[in-house]
A and B are shown apart, each in its own frame.
Chain A
Amino acid sequence: DQQVKQNSPSLSVQEGRISILNCDYTNSMFDYFLWYKKYPAEGPTFLISISSIKDKNEDGRFTVFLNKSAKHLSLHIVPSQPGDSAVYFCAASSGGSYIPTFGRGTSLIVHP
């Protein structure tokens, strides 16, 4: 049973527009959420995170929104660039565990 779900396996966006990647979770004990980006033949790299005490965290073009009541978070990329084309993984952890649970990833393609 997947505790972290990324229901869209792929997303295609035009350069300059907004990319919105979604993630849902089922475990109400999760209190820390991370996004990783992965290019082909490379390991994932950390992108941005958010604690459950916040509902928004922003870093440059990347913003993560957390809706605890809906158990939903989203990553917004504005404006999208071709170099953002990658697989994005959502991950979640709870304070008592140091082992994050990952979603299956969403492949983002940004067209020039």
Chain B
Amino acid sequence: DTEVTQTPKHLVMGMTNKKSLKCEQHMGHRAMYWYKQKAKKPPELMFVYSYEKLSINESVPSRFSPECPNSSLLNLHLHALQPEDSALYLCASSQAQTGREQYFGPGTRLTVT
């Protein structure tokens, strides 16, 4: 089973709203990732959690706040977003060892109005 689930599938939010994206995997993976993908562009890494600890933060604005409550769950808290933050937000997971395959969830399509 290589399933990563994400909720919600679609999200429309205003610039003053607070919302959260959720990601879950039950593959026993100990590394989880958030990516942002704009149209016709490749995914861009935002955050990496390894063994529930934040190990990479790719200079992402503080209006994005990640959280890893346990080894199966990953959240991305959103606050005071800008219209240019509208994108497909992808969660992925992998074994934590070097070079392991990353499996993506279906993504959350976010629109900021």
The answer to whether A and B belong to the same complex is: no
Interface residues of B (CB under 8 A from A): none
Interface residues of A (CB under 8 A from B): none
